Structures are given as C-alpha cells and as structure tokens.
A and B are shown apart, each in its own frame.
Chain A
C-alpha cells in the first residue's frame, strides 16, 4: 500500500492505495466520485477524463500514486454551486449529449482544450476533441457546443 494525499474537487483526501490502482478507480471506488466513468481499457475513449492540476488527463491512464500531492477536478467539481460551467451550459443548450455516458469526459476535455485555445476554429475543435469517443451524437452538436462555449468565454474558467 502507498499513502497518497490528493485534493479532489476542492477537498483534501489522504488514503492508502495499492500502487497499481488507477486514478479513475481511486476516484470512483475510494472517493465515490462516480460522475467520472470508465468506457474502455485502452485510453481510446476519454470517458474518464479529469483535470490534473488544471490540465485534462485520461484518469484510466494515470496511477493514483501519480496524483499524490496534486489537485484533481472531476465533472462533479466543475459547476459553481447551482450555476453550470459555460461548457456544461453549452452542452445542454446545443443538445450535445444523448445517453450522457461520454459527457463528463467530453466536458472536461473541452474545458481544458478551451483553456489552451479560447478562440478555436471548428477544425481546431475537431482535432482537440479527437481523443474522446461518443456513439450517440455523431459529434455535430458536440463541436457546436464547444464553439458556443468558446464564444461564451468557456475557456476563461
């Protein structure tokens, strides 16, 4: 077992974890942060995307011990109380989700992408979101939502 201290969605945690534990399993099983989900075994789908010190990572591709001493933001920590983050709001308004399983990862990737590139072109959005799979929407409205959030200053937060 290894001891880790990690801040998740603003709360400081200190836990013993098996060194092989993936960050996503630590979030889901130890902390109950089940808003972050697992979609594949190969880091292709991006459903588990969270922010590690403000940048998007696929949390199935990070060991929990690597998060020791760092700060994690999940989809559950993105909104400001009852006020949705502009990217969450844009996904809602653009009908950028159907079943919603990919949505937490999509939104976390989009916020990170927009932080790097607050005024992207559509092509840049399509390349920037390429690592997140969705089977419902055909991506049309996801791209639209990211563009809309960019217009609303979604990258600013």
Chain B
C-alpha cells in the first residue's frame, strides 16, 4: 500500500489493452442464457404469424397436457399483472399512441406478437408444447407500406381512427434561429439552384450477436431480473411504473451483454412476459429467443422517406433547407420510437451555415414490427440525406463535392457557433479533419485515376464519396429533454469506494455491453486518483450495486458518465485532503495532491491516498468530527450536447457491366475531442463503419404484402463478413469539447453515421456520368445494374424495393475480393 512506489504513467490517451478481455477470450463469461438457478423453468412464446388479426380463441389443452409443462399462459391470465410497454417520449401533446401490451389480449398489430406462452421443465419441452397451443385468428387487412398507411385507407389500429401518430416541426423563422425557408426556396426558384430529392432509409435490424435472454427469479424478498439489456435502470423503473411492483422490490441485472447498438435500448414484451410467468408459477423462469424470433420481435431501425428541398445561389452557397420526413413507427410507438427521427431535427443542417431551415416529421403507424433506436438513431438518416444532397449541389454547380462543402461549412474561427436549428456547437475544426482525411486517402491521386478510367471508357469505373458530418452526443441535458417532453432526465451517476486494502471500486450508472468501460473508466480514475490502473475495479449493470443510473446509449457513457466518475474522484480527493492534513499534522492549504500522494509543500512529508483509505478503515486516528470515509458519489447533468465531427472518404469500384461494387479504399478522420483509449476508439470506429457500410450495400428488412418478414434469418438478412469488408484508414484530429472536464465528445456512433452516405456518394459518383443521380439502398449489384440499364434507356426511375437475392449474385458475393484491393492500416 505504498502509493508512491508504483505510480502509473499517464493513463488517459494510452492504448491500454482491455481488462474485459481475459474472461471473454477464455469463455469465462456470464451471458444471461448461461444462468442456471435451482428449480428453474423455461419459457417458450407462441407468436402471431399474422401482421394484423384478432385472436378469437386459444385452446391450451393439448399443450397443458404435454410432458414437463408446468403452465400455459394467455393474455387473459396475466392481464392484471403483466404491465405495459411504455413510450417514454410522446413527441407532441396529441400524439396517437396505441396501448402496447407485452402479451396481446385480442388485437394483434404486427407479426411476431406474443399471444401465449408455455412454461416447462426444459427449453425443448416448452418449445414442443408451444407448437400444440391452438390459436384461432380472424385475419384483418394489414397496412404495410408507409405511404399507403399515411393516407389512412387501411388502419393499423382500427380503434384509433388514424395511422398518423404525430407531426413535429422545427422552423428557423418561427423559433428565431434563422430565416424563412419558403422565401429562400422562392428566391432560388426564380434565379438560383433548387434541388429536390426524395431518399429512402430502408428498414434495418440491429442484429446484435447475443440473442436476447431474460431470467426472472421471484424467490426471496425481491424479484431479480437478469436480462440482456442496455438499460437495466430504465427497465427497473418501468417494471415498477407499469406492474405496480414497488421499485424497491425489483432488482435488474445486466450481466455480460453481447452487443446492443440500440437494439437492447428497450423494455421488451419478452421481459415483461417472463416476469409475469415467473410470478405466476412462483419459480425462476428463463426465456431465450431464437435468432428468428430476435429478427422479427426485436425492434427495427430507420424506415423513413425523406423529402429534401435545398435552395442555393448559383455559386453553390446554400440559402435554405426544407426537410419533410415520413416515418414508419411500426405497430407501436416504442420506448423512444417517435423521438428517434426528431433527434435528426438538429442535424440536417449538419456542419453548414444555412440561413433558413425547416424540419417536418410525420410519424405513422403500420402493421410492421415497431421501430426504435439503432446505432446513430435519427442522426444517420439526417447525415445521409444532407450529404447526398450536398453532392447533388456540387454536381449542379460543377465543382468537387469538397468545394461546395467548404463554401458552406462553419470555419474553425467561428466556434462556438449557434446553428440554424438553434443548437450551439462548442468546438470543431472541419478544415483540419478534411485536410488530414484527404492526405490519408490520397484524394488527388484517386481523382486522377477516376478521370483516367472515365476517359478510357473502363467498364470498371471508380467513384469517390465524401461525407463530412457532425452529430450531437452526450445525451443529454435534462432541461433540454424536459422541453422536448422526454420522460426522463439525462444525468449520470458514479460513486467511488476506497477500500481498506487500497483497491478502488468505481460504480457507474452506465451499462456497457462491449464498449470497454471497465478499461476506460479505470484509466480515468487511475489518473485522477494516482492509483495503479490494475487496482481499479469498475462495477456496473446491477441496480442493487449501481442504484442510480440512466444506462448506455446515444454516445453518452463517457461524455456524461465519465464526467460523473471524474467528479466523484475529485470529491474523494477533497475528503482525503482533510484526513491527510490531520495525519500529516499540516495545514490543508499547504498540501498538494500529485500522483496519488498528498505532500506538504516544501518538505518530503506526504501520505498516499491508499494509506488514507486504510486510515479511514481503522479510524484509529481519524480527525474528530469528520466522518470516517473518503468514499464519494457524484451525479452529473450536462449543460450542452457534445458535437463530434469528421470527414470520411470512400472509393468504390463499380463494374458497369454487372453492377457489382467493390470497396477500394476508406479513410476517415474523426474529431471526438479528448481520447481516453485510442485502441478502443479505433475499434468503435471500425465497427461503426461496417454497420453504416452495411446499410449502404447489404442490409434490408424485407416484408411481403401481408407484413411477414421475408428476411427473417441470417440466411436472408445479410450481415457483412470478413470476406465482404476491407481494412480501414483511420485517424483523429482533436478539438476539445467544452461540456465536460475531460473534453470528450463520444465515438460510439460516428462511424455508422458518417459511412453510409460516403459509400452511396461513391457509387453514384462512379456512374453519374451515365446520367444517374441516385440508387436506392441497399446498393445490391442488381439495383446498380438496373440503374445503369435504366439510364441507358432514358429512364432514371429508381428500382422498386425488392428482397435481396441470396445464394447467387448477391451483394456479399460481389464484394468477396474487396480485401485484396484495400489499403493497409495506417
């Protein structure tokens, strides 16, 4: 316990290998599905095969009689106890919000809804018996298409009288943050450039690798819920709020959680049904979904039509932007489902100095699975649309896409800058990030090669895609959330326990599921308290250990949760200082704290913080009238968002004869403020990039006309593989955030937000000379080929949405050799 002996080097900024890894690489893991409890029973769900139906009868007799079956549960059995699936963010006061029950009582509004459940001795017995539950349905007409639904011809919920849930609007003239967009559009129509486009954000599935699993143990005084969630604290609150179980009687634990990407930012019907079943049979119950169940019953992401009108002067200076969104909520307004597109309201104007702006968002109910947060959540959609249309503006003006961006972006001297949407960007340097990205990418050389291929009429054309983006992270200032009618705050909590043996426990209210908080938080605390990295243990994800928290999503953990840790550490030092003065028989004003040690200025007298923790434990000579503890807690509520930004450049080769696309090179430079661990940052960027690239090239949730999910397994929902992807060139520039002590901005979503438009811009750039200005995502070879064929035959109509072909000629095949042409890691 000699704090002086092994002082750590400066941890913040160091590429520490992760603490989490040892157990993960050896299989010493605790996924929810690994949990076995005495007397534990297993649950299987009976799900509706119809997207819209009325349950007319349920015959449970055969299932009840099956071997090992303990109970068969229908909605009627648990109607009074099952609670509800909440919408935490009604975006308008008059939002139409259908009641969302965990198990349907009568009305089925989308495929996969739970109509009954079987509890049995084994998972296999439960599943076998679930097949024996005989449900009679009266099938109703399903409304599947978003635009059709918006016309209210067929209703997703007949009792509600409309599919139109809410209309949300931001207008720069009305709120005083900018000019009148209609006037700008009229002026451009008269004598400038007016570009009107409609883009489609296809529906995506988060597809975390660990299927969701929930174990509920009702034995003992508290109900304990283990679940694969990003939001244990929110789940605990909503269980209490909707079932009537006192919050103090509920403990929620998120053990090892295998990815989320927003897909586990939800309180699910499965969690509530498992809870109701366990309480009913009074035994521990486990439910683990199959992948097919996961794809249909976990929430989906995106699914919007985006209409944009961009007005500009003839030199490419943008004068106004009007956005009209049509948003598919699916069958219910999910936890923050209505709010996701609204998060884009402040992001369509992106890094630019647009003088006038209007954002309109119409949310619509359909008979498809519900939509909620998926990595980026509202901001990828916004970034895609603005970065696509800025390329169109460049083409119209006849200049390089970077030139038109530079003409319109906020220069680094102009920060802090209040945008036309009314958001104040604290820091940034778009010029620096772009310059570095161009250098990393070899921009000028690739442009030269593009010209050569074009001149030579090469059947394989080269396109270069640009995406300069910003995002708002660090969700969120509670006052802002309050003004938006969001149902919770945006603060985060941390506490630090200084143990008698000199070890340090850090308790965080964030709930990591792959991000490496245990490592990064340890680095922060090691620096702040001057203790060895190895001596810091980070505890999280259990409401009994970490009683206060708002969990992990929206690139908030470091920016908000990390700052709470910093403040708790500073309080520890303050408390320890009082004891140090006493123990050193010195005046507190004469003490300085460096490297984990309080020293008396001008002397060699001092005491380490670990020794003070020991002194608090024994309390044999603790100062009188001072509580014998140096533990501390802090809650941090940010006053502003943070604004990471970056420049992403993508080169795509397009075979104009087959439509096959190959990624040639991808370089990105992200400004995420202070970096705690560059290794973790790089990993977040890589993973984010591939999710965004996958939206551009491969992924789409496809439904048939009856609302049945066609891409309902990993055979059809085509996640990228090693063979589809390349190595990426990544780097960072740094302008510190001013909203927190460390200067961090958040990195979890950057890659996903930025990469999709970079890829699509690159493919369109490769074939623009053929007369093509858009191709609908995902850009399968077939769609690219059709666009080329249509252009040759004088039609630019984008192809209609179709199921991705599989097994032969699909996107994955087309990109199989992309690795061979990828650039190496910088």
Which residues of A are interface residues toward B (Cβ below 8 A)?
18, 25, 28-29, 32-42, 44-45, 47, 74-76, 78-79, 84, 88, 91-93, 95, 97-104, 107, 122-123, 125-127, 129-144
A84–B27 CB distance below 8 A: no
Given contacts A92-B25, A130-B722, is CB(A47)–CB(B209) below 8 Å? Answer: yes
B783-826, CB under 8 A of A: which get 1 and which 0? 00000000000000000000000000000000011011000010
Given contacts A75-B27, A92-B18, A140-B825, is CB(A99)–CB(B820) below 8 Å? Answer: no
B209–A95 CB distance below 8 A: no
- CA of A137 to CA of B258 in the docked complex: distance in angstroms? 12
- CA of A136 to CA of B600 in the docked complex: distance in angstroms? 48
Which residues of chain A have C-beta atoms less than 8 A from B261's C-beta? 135
A37–B687 CB distance below 8 A: no
B690–A133 CB distance below 8 A: no
A39–B209 CB distance below 8 A: yes
The answer to whether B256 has its CB under 8 Å from any CB of chain A is yes
Given contacts A79-B26, A123-B819, is CB(A95)–CB(B257) below 8 Å? Answer: no
Task: Sort A-B residue pairs by CB-CB distance and give the 4 closest, nearest first.
Answer: A35-B27, A99-B514, A101-B258, A100-B24
Which single residue of chain A is at the shortest CB-CB distance from B728?
A140
Which single residue of chain B is at the shortest CB-CB distance from A74?
B27
The one of B28, B683, B714 in contact with A45, judged by C-beta atoms closer than 8 angstroms, is B714
Which residues of chain A have C-beta atoms less than 8 A from B25's C-beta? 75, 84, 88, 91-92, 97, 100, 103, 107
Nearest CB on A from B502, distance (A): 24
Q: Which of A32, A44, A137, A140 has the most CB of B within 10 A?
A: A140
Which residues of chain A have C-beta atoms less than 8 A from B515's C-beta? 98
A135–B209 CB distance below 8 A: yes
- CA of A129 to CA of B816 in the docked complex: distance in angstroms? 12
Which single residue of chain B is at the shortest CB-CB distance from A105?
B209
Which residues of chain A have C-beta atoms less than 8 A from B686's C-beta? 137-141
The one of A39, A42, A123, A132 in contact with B715, judged by C-beta atoms closer than 8 angstroms, is A42
Which single residue of chain A is at the shortest CB-CB distance from B210?
A101
Given contacts A123-B820, A126-B819, A133-B714, is CB(A138)–CB(B725) below 8 Å? Answer: yes
- CA of A93 to CA of B683 in the docked complex: distance in angstroms? 12
Q: Which of A38, A129, A138, A141 has the most CB of B within 10 A?
A: A138
A92–B17 CB distance below 8 A: yes
Which single residue of chain A is at the shortest CB-CB distance from B680?
A95
The answer to whether B342 has its CB under 8 Å from any CB of chain A is no
The answer to whether B719 has its CB under 8 Å from any CB of chain A is yes
- CA of A74 to CA of B719 in the docked complex: distance in angstroms? 25
The one of A34, A135, A140 in contact with B207, judged by C-beta atoms closer than 8 angstroms, is A135
Which residues of chain A have C-beta atoms less than 8 A from B28's C-beta? 35, 76
Which residues of chain B have C-beta atoms less than 8 A from A135's C-beta? 207-209, 259, 261, 687, 691, 719
Q: A123-B819, A138-B728 are in contact. List 16 more A-B contacts (CB 8 A).
A: A28-B34, A41-B291, A42-B715, A76-B26, A84-B26, A92-B25, A95-B17, A95-B680, A95-B683, A99-B258, A102-B209, A130-B721, A133-B209, A137-B686, A139-B686, A140-B728
A143–B211 CB distance below 8 A: no
Which residues of chain A have C-beta atoms less than 8 A from B20's C-beta? 100
B721–A133 CB distance below 8 A: yes
A99–B513 CB distance below 8 A: yes
The answer to whether B501 has its CB under 8 Å from any CB of chain A is no
B680-705, CB under 8 A of A: which get 1 and which 0? 10111011111100000000000000
B689–A36 CB distance below 8 A: no
Given contacts A37-B210, A133-B714, is CB(A98)–CB(B722) below 8 Å? Answer: no
Which residues of chain A have C-beta atoms less than 8 A from B683's C-beta? 95, 98, 136-137, 141
Nearest CB on B from A80, distance (A): 11
Which residues of chain B have C-beta atoms less than 8 A from A76's C-beta? 26-28
- CA of A125 to CA of B751 in the docked complex: distance in angstroms? 24
Which residues of chain A have C-beta atoms less than 8 A from B825's C-beta? 140, 144
The one of B24, B259, B691, B722 in contact with A143, judged by C-beta atoms closer than 8 angstroms, is B722
The one of B122, B259, B728 in contact with A99, judged by C-beta atoms closer than 8 angstroms, is B259
B27–A95 CB distance below 8 A: no
The answer to whether B679 has its CB under 8 Å from any CB of chain A is yes
Nearest CB on A from B186, distance (A): 45
Which residues of chain B have C-beta atoms less than 8 A from A79's C-beta? 26
Which residues of chain A have C-beta atoms less than 8 A from B210's C-beta? 37, 39, 99, 101
B715–A95 CB distance below 8 A: no
Which residues of chain B have C-beta atoms less than 8 A from A37's C-beta? 29, 31, 33, 210, 258
- CA of A95 to CA of B36 in the docked complex: distance in angstroms? 30
A100–B714 CB distance below 8 A: no
Which residues of chain A have C-beta atoms less than 8 A from B816's C-beta? 127
Nearest CB on A from B586, distance (A): 45
8 pairs across A/B with beta carbons < 8 Å?
Answer: A42-B715, A95-B680, A99-B209, A133-B721, A135-B691, A137-B683, A139-B725, A140-B728
- CA of A99 to CA of B514 in the docked complex: distance in angstroms? 3
The one of A40, A97, A126 in contact with B21, judged by C-beta atoms closer than 8 angstroms, is A97
Which residues of chain B have C-beta atoms less than 8 A from A95's C-beta? 17-18, 679-680, 682-683
* Segment 275-326 of B: residues with Cβ below 8 Å from A: 290-292
A45–B209 CB distance below 8 A: yes
- CA of A144 to CA of B819 in the docked complex: distance in angstroms? 12
